[in-house]
């Protein structure tokens, strides 16, 4: 079985969550200096889904990432965690692609790979939050697509998925090849051991340039970004309840909240 | 692209009724149609749903397309996407609006790529550009750290709108409209994904999205037992229990309890955040609450920047006396 996992490199969303600003002139988000690039957390969940399948059966896991100046050490983590192969689509033209272009680019690269059974993607990227690439790949390759998975299993050439919906969990199946997007409820990516990290250093990485792919990104339709603005802030002046002990603070908070008629 | 005309909405139905977000989708889309000077049409997809058409007309739609088929009883990606592909192909709207729900999130991107057009999900503002007449689509990006406004000149322009952001339309039973029944014409061989079963969460008391008070826990709660204490407070104030992402990922509580951009958008009168630091992704989901109370042992936690009242301390020590004192005061 061959599983392809699509991984985006993003600025670490945990370290950039405070201090991120917007430059409306340049229409750019500015993350705090020193924010390291990481694998998109939801894509890590997708890789974990692939590795869970590989735990149970013979499987080859191929990771694909697209972008400009991709950080090999960051993406090599996928190999250390258990992926077998890493393909980087690295070109200036692949910088900050929208989801339409990304889906077409990844689909072209997947076609080049040829045979596959399952494509796994994160449900969305932490920087753009567009949440469309996985579904786009499925439609372009004309294979079934299932979104927001919290469990992915393969049985008799079918993929059986538990997906998170607003009032519970749905169990859905589709014949393979299929595409599944994975949500965080599936679980975090496993930690690689020191031996695996060392071994991953020696695994060769395949790098493909724009001319290696049978697609011209510049010819695709694309959305235009009209404005980029900082969100309106919520104005709140927090009244801190301070007491001798936390127990007293709890009781005092109850008093203050009822006085303010919040309850 | 002159042949594309009008605004279309997809009406989401749950257990035979229109989902509340459908009224919000109707409200904002009616305005878009008026600004364009064009028609607003609605699509109802399901089984035994014909009697909802009149209500959709009362809420502002000029035309309603009804696709009623036993095979469409529950949402299934392939079946619904192919129905919508057919309806859009026939009606050719300029704009298609859906709600940002589990269904909208799944269907909108799939349908957009099927129709070879672009979609923008989770919009919080939609307007018509007076010059180009294109749809200006504003959505939060970077977890909510920025608001991006996009346009796209590929038709139909497909968007989903965030829950509880748009003003819902009001029903006026004197309004007239046209109801058109369409055949689903499902090609069974094209239905590849199959729903095997659905496990619904047990709902105790009020639903999270309807609750006036929400008691929400974060990573600091530590385990499933901790959430039982939150449940106790929620029961006392007739509210619902919510959570940030980590407790859901760890299954201390059901994933459907998640509040935030990858969970539910809520706007209760009071949001009580316990052991929850307040990531921007979480605050996107609860920032519209009228008041926020925070209990957290880290004075630097961002939740305090949004809170009206706060206690810096160990929630395990603060919460029991808070609940007890509240019980006493509410009895008075």
CB B200 within 8 A of CB B167: no
Buried b / exposed e across B116-146, counting CB within 10 Å, b at 16+?
Answer: ebbbbbbbbebebeeeeebbbbbbbbbbbbb
- DSSP line for B254-314: -GGGBBSTTSB----SEEEEES----HHHHHHHTT-SEEEEEES-TT-THHHH-SEEEES-
Instruction: Please enumerate in sequence order all residues whose Cβ is within 8 A of that of A126, keeping only pairs 6 or more positions apart, or say none.
Output: A10, A13, A40, A41, A42, B142, B143
What is the 3-state composition of chain A as percent helix, strand, coil, each rounded to the nearest 5? Answer: 35, 30, 35
Q: Which of A224-233, B63-72, B224-233 has the lowest mean pLDDT?
A: A224-233
Dihedral pair phi/psi, residue B125, rounded to 5°: -155, 135
CA distance A121 to A127: 15
Return the structure tokens found at A144. 């079934």
| Tens digits of residue pLDDT in A30-42 | 999 889 999 999 9
- Whether the CB-CB separation of A135 and A181 falls below 8 Å is answered with yes
Size of interface A-B (CB pairs under 8 A): 276
Least Cα separation, residue B15 to chain A (angstroms): 12
Q: What is the pLDDT of residues B24-60, one digit of tens each?
A: 999 999 999 999 999 999 999 999 998 999 999 999 9
Q: How are beta strands B157-161 and B95-99 bridged, if at all?
A: parallel
B125 touches chain A (CB under 8 A): no
- ipTM rounded to 2 decimals: 0.94
Q: What is the mean pLDDT of residues A150-171?
A: 96
- The closest of B52, B56, B102, B109 to B81, measured between CA atoms, is B109
Q: In a 10 Å sphere around its CB, with 0-12 CB exposed, 13-18 middle and 19+ buried, how is residue B47 labelled?
A: middle
- Categorize the per-residue pLDDT at A233 as very low, low, confident or very high, splitting at 50, 70 and 90: confident
A202 min Cα distance to partner chain B (Å): 33
Decide: helix, strand or coil at residue B15.
coil
The residue whose two tokens read 């735990």 is A55
Asked if the Cβ–Cβ distance from B147 to A228 is below 8 Å, we say: yes
Residue showing tokens 């609605």: B42
Alpha helices in chain B (DSSP H): 20-36, 53-58, 77-91, 102-114, 224-236, 245-249, 280-286, 303-306, 315-331
Q: Which residues pair with B123 in a beta bridge?
A: B161
- At B50 the pLDDT is 84
Of A17, A225, A248, the CB nearest to B279: A17
Q: Sorting pLDDT into bands at 50, 70 and 90, what band is B193?
A: very high
Q: What residues are paired with A159 via a beta bridge?
A: A154, A174
For residues B175-202, average pLDDT: 93
Q: How far apart are CA B215 and CA B221, in angstroms?
A: 12
Phi, psi angles (nearest 5°) of residue A167:
-120, 20
Average pLDDT score, chain A:
95
Q: What is the pLDDT of residues B196-222, one digit of tens each?
A: 999 998 876 789 999 999 999 999 999
User: Has residue B2 got a pLDDT over 80?
Assistant: no
Q: How many angstroms away from the CA of A59 is the closest CA of chain B?
A: 23
> Per-residue pLDDT tens for A12-31?
988 766 688 999 999 999 99
3-class SS at A82?
coil
- Among chain A residues, the shortest Cα distance to B159 is held by A130
Predicted confidence (pLDDT) at residue A231 exceeds the cutoff of 90: no
Interface touch B151/A223, C-beta < 8 Å: yes
Residues 158-177 of B with CB under 8 A from A: none
Tell me, what's the pLDDT at A16?
60
Can you give the pTM of this predicted structure? 0.94
If we measure between CA atoms, which residue out of B147, B104, B155, B96 comes closest to residue B125? Answer: B147
pLDDT, tens only, A87-109: 999 999 999 999 999 999 999 99
Question: Among A13-22, B106-115, B123-132, B163-172, which stretch is predicted with the lowest mean pLDDT?
Answer: A13-22
Among B136, B146, B251, beta carbon nearest to A230 = B146
pLDDT at residue A242 tops 80 = yes
Please give the pLDDT value at position A232.
83
């Amino acid at each position: 079985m061959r599983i392809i996992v699509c991984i985006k490199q993003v600025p670490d969303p945990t370290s950039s969550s405070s201090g991120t600003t917007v430059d409306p002139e340049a229409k750019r988000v500015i993350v705090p200096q020193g924010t390291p690039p990481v694998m998109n957390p939801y894509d890590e969940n997708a890789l974990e889904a692939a590795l869970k399948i590989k735990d149970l059966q013979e499987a080859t896991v191929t990771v694909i990432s697209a972008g400009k100046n991709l950080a090999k050490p960051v993406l090599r983590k996928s190999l250390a965690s258990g992926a077998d192969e890493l393909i980087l689509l690295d070109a200036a033209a692949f910088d900050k692609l929208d989801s339409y272009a990304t889906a077409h680019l990844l689909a072209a690269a997947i076609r080049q790979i040829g045979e596959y059974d399952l494509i796994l993607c994160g449900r969305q990227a932490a920087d753009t939050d567009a949440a469309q690439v996985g579904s786009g790949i499925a439609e372009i390759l004309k294979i079934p697509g299932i979104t927001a998975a919290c469990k992915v299993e393969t049985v008799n050439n079918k993929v059986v998925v538990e997906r998170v919906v607003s009032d519970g969990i749905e169990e859905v199946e589709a014949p393979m090849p299929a595409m599944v997007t994975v949500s965080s409820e599936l679980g975090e990516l496993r930690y690689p051991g020191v031996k695996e990290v060392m071994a991953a250093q020696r695994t060769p990485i395949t790098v493909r340039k724009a001319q290696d792919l049978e697609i011209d990104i510049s010819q695709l339709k694309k959305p235009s970004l009209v404005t980029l603005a900082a969100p309106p802030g919520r104005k709140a002046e927090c009244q801190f309840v301070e007491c001798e002990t936390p127990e007293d603070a709890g009781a005092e908070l109850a008093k203050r909240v009822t006085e303010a008629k919040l309850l | 692209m002159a042949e594309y005309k009008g605004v279309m909405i997809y009406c989401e139905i749950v257990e035979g009724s229109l989902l509340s977000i459908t009224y919000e989708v109707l409200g904002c889309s009616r305005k878009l149609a008026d600004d364009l000077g064009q028609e607003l049409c609605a699509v109802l997809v399901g089984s035994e749903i014909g009697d909802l058409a009149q209500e959709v007309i009362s809420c502002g739609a000029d035309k309603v397309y009804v696709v009623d088929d036993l095979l469409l009883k529950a949402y299934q990606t392939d079946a619904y996407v192919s129905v919508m592909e057919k309806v859009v192909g026939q009606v050719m709207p300029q704009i298609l609006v859906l709600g940002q729900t589990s269904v909208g999130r799944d269907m909108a991107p799939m349908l957009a790529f099927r129709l070879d057009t672009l979609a923008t999900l989770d919009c919080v503002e939609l307007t018509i550009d007076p010059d180009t007449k294109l749809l200006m689509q504003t959505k939060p990006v970077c977890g909510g750290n920025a608001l991006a406004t996009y346009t796209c000149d590929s038709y139909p322009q497909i968007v989903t709108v965030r829950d509880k952001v748009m003003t819902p339309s009001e029903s006026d039973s004197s309004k007239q409209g046209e109801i058109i029944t369409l055949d689903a014409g499902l090609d069974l061989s094209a239905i590849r994904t199959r729903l095997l079963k659905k496990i619904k969460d047990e709902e105790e008391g009020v639903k999270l999205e309807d609750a006036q008070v929400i008691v929400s826990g974060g990573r600091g709660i530590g385990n499933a037992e901790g959430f039982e204490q939150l449940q106790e407070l929620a029961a006392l104030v007739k509210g619902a229990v919510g959570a940030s992402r980590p407790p859901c990922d760890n299954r201390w509580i059901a994933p459907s309890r998640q509040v935030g951009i990858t969970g539910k958008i809520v706007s209760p009168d009071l949001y009580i955040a316990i052991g929850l630091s307040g990531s921007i992704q979480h605050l996107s989901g609860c920032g519209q609450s009228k008041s926020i109370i925070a209990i957290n042992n880290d004075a630097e936690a961002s939740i305090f920047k949004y809170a009206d009242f706060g206690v810096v301390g160990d929630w395990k020590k603060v919460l029991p006396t808070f609940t007890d004192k509240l019980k006493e005061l509410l009895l008075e």
